[in-house]
Amino acid sequence: MAAEAKVDPMHQFVIEPLFGSNNWAIAGHNIAFTNSALWMALSTLALVIFVSGGLRREVIPGRWQMAVESFTGFIDAMLATNVGPNGKKYVPYVFSLFMFILFANFIGLMPLGLVGIHPFTFTSHFTATGVLSLLSFGIVLVVGFAKHKLHFFSLFVPHGTPVAMIVPIFFVEVISFLVRPFSLGLRLFVAMMAGHVLLEVLSSFVITGGNAGPVLFAVAGLPSFLLMVGICALEILVAGIQAYVFALLTCVYLNDAENLH
Amino acid sequence: MPQISQLADTYFSQIFWMLVFFGLTFVIVGRGMVPQVVSTMTERNQRIGQDLAAAEAARNAAEAEQESWDEAEAAQRANAHALIAEAKHKASLATQASLAEATARIEAQVTSAEARIIAARNAALGEFETVAAEIAQDITQRVAGLAVSTDDARSAVKGPFAHG
């Protein structure tokens, strides 16, 4: 191992089929059960276990039930402030979205490599985050057009727009609207990938510095290691913030669809 | 960058499993569990609200009770004061009446006693006159040998008595 000290910071994002599922396919498309899919499954499992602790339905909640209720209360409040009373019906979706991303981000950060299991952060793949952002965007479109019919297009002409400016503003607004699913998905993917790459690069400094002798270890390895500790804390924060931003922006977009403006 | 270099090979699997597992999450957690958690919270909040309302109502009732009790107490106190004042008034009136009666009785007794004394004194004085007249008659008889009539003796004696 020490002989091959080169660390590839991108290797952690490589998708590999597991359990010989290479050739699984639906209608000619490959649906191999990959390491990415495995960690999606584990996130779902962890989330199910976590939320099932909130099902005791006691009047005086225990610690676990309290934790689950604080999350549902958080999402409930977020929808209430951003969408209003109409937002109540989106609680299941936004809660699933927020918690799924949060658990994926957190599980991807767990130091399970110490016991030989390498967590895979599937939120660092835009193919995964894109699905979620397109889902949110799709819901906004469906709700918007179902509720306001073609009047939904008035979303693209803000109040008080001078008549001469209506056409250019309309195009600008349409473009900014259509960019939403991309910005939503890319933001999460970039944030997660950047953090993981940074940690990997710093860890490669620690390893190569350590292999190059005590002086270089003291000059480069040790500071990098200390920096890693700090950045790990930052990444935990980012994991939460990105899940929050994703859920919050979904709420804001849902507000457009529900209430126009 | 595996996200791009593996895109063609993996995109369908990624999207497929993402839909599968996010769908499972949505169905099991979002649709199955979250409404129960939320309803538990709603029920609890309602119960807390009801309990608070009940406590508020109980407090108001207690305050009203206290107020009416205070009023009743004040009324009874005033009533008692009135009774006491009336009783005092009556008692003083009765005292005055019996005092006046006693005073009158005593006055009457004193007056009659005085009258009796005056009568007794007058009677005694009359007796003196008679006795003095008899003595004077007797003395004149013995000393001067004169027989003075009773009436003359009496009128002679009367002068000094009238000034006595």
Give the pLDDT of residue A3. 44
Give the pLDDT of residue A2. 44
Amino acid at position B100, single letter = A
Angle at A52 between CA A48 and CA A54, to 5 degrees: 130
Give the pLDDT of residue B164. 53
Give the pLDDT of residue B163. 60
Per-residue b or e along A178-217, where b marks 16 or more CB atoms closer than 10 Å to that residue's CB:
eebbeebbebbbebbbebbbbbbebbbbbbbbbeeeeeeb
Nearest alpha-carbon partner for B16 in B6, B27, B4, B24: B24
Q: Is the pLDDT of residue A86 over 60?
A: yes
Q: Which residues of B touch A15 (CB under 8 A)?
A: 2, 6, 9-10, 13-14
Q: What six digits make up the tokens of A220? A: 């480069």
Give the pLDDT of residue B162. 62
CB contact under 8 A, B17 and A92: no
Of the partner residues A33, A44, A125, the one whose CB lies closest to the CB of residue B25: A44
CB contact under 8 A, A128 and B37: no
Give the pLDDT of residue A1. 40
Average pLDDT on B136-148 reads 82
Nearest alpha-carbon partner for A192 in A126, A255, A96, A135: A126
- If you average pLDDT over every residue of chain A, what do you get? 85
Phi-psi region of A7 (alpha: psi -120 to 50; beta: other; left: phi over 0): beta
Question: How many domains is chain B partitioned into structurally?
Answer: 1
The string of pLDDT tens digits covering residues A4-30 is 446 677 777 777 777 776 777 777 777
The string of pLDDT tens digits covering residues A48-79 is 999 888 888 777 888 888 888 889 889 989 98
Of the partner residues A37, A55, A76, the one whose CB lies closest to the CB of residue B36: A55
Average pLDDT on A194-221 reads 85
The string of pLDDT tens digits covering residues A152-175 is 777 787 777 778 888 888 888 889
Q: Which helix (H) or strand (E) holds A261?
A: none
The string of pLDDT tens digits covering residues B21-70 is 999 989 998 888 888 888 888 888 999 999 999 999 999 999 999 999 99
CB contact under 8 A, B16 and A29: yes
Of the partner residues B18, B24, B35, the one whose CB lies closest to the CB of residue A92: B35
Instruction: Count, in order, helices (H) and strands (E) of chain B.
Output: 4, 0
Residues 6 or more apart in contact with residue A220 via CB below 8 angstroms: A205, A209
Neighbours of A40 (CB within 10 A): 26
Pick from B5, B20, B22, B44 the residue to mutate for testing the A interface (most A CBs within 10 Å).
B22
Q: Is the pLDDT of residue B3 over 80?
A: no
The string of pLDDT tens digits covering residues A91-126 is 899 999 999 999 999 998 888 878 877 888 888 888
Provide the residue range defining the domain that includes B50: 2-163
B18 close to A131: Cβ distance less than 8 angstroms: yes
Q: Is the pLDDT of residue B90 over 90?
A: yes
- If you average pLDDT over every residue of chain B, what do you get? 88
The CA distance from A161 to the nearest CA of chain B, in Å, is 40
Give the pLDDT of residue B10. 78
What are the residue boundaries of the structural domains of chain A, listed by start?
A: 11-259
Query: Residue A29 pairs with which residues in a beta bridge?
Result: A26
Q: Which residues of B touch A40 (CB under 8 A)?
A: 17-18, 20-22
Average pLDDT on A225-239 reads 91
The CA distance from B54 to the nearest CA of chain A, in Å, is 18
For residues A188 and A130, give the distance between their C-alpha atoms in angstroms, rounded to a whole number. 9
Highest mean pLDDT among A54-58, A183-187, B129-133, B149-153: A183-187
Least confident of A216-220, B62-66, B75-79, B116-120: A216-220
Residues 6 or more apart in contact with residue A102 via CB below 8 angstroms: A239, A240, A243
Q: Which helix (H) or strand (E) holds B20?
A: helix B7-24
Q: Which residues of A touch B34 (CB under 8 A)?
A: 51, 72, 91-92, 95-96
The CA distance from B23 to the nearest CA of chain A, in Å, is 9
Residue A94: closest CA among chain B residues belongs to which residue? B30
Amino acid at position A143, single letter = V
Give the pLDDT of residue A168. 85
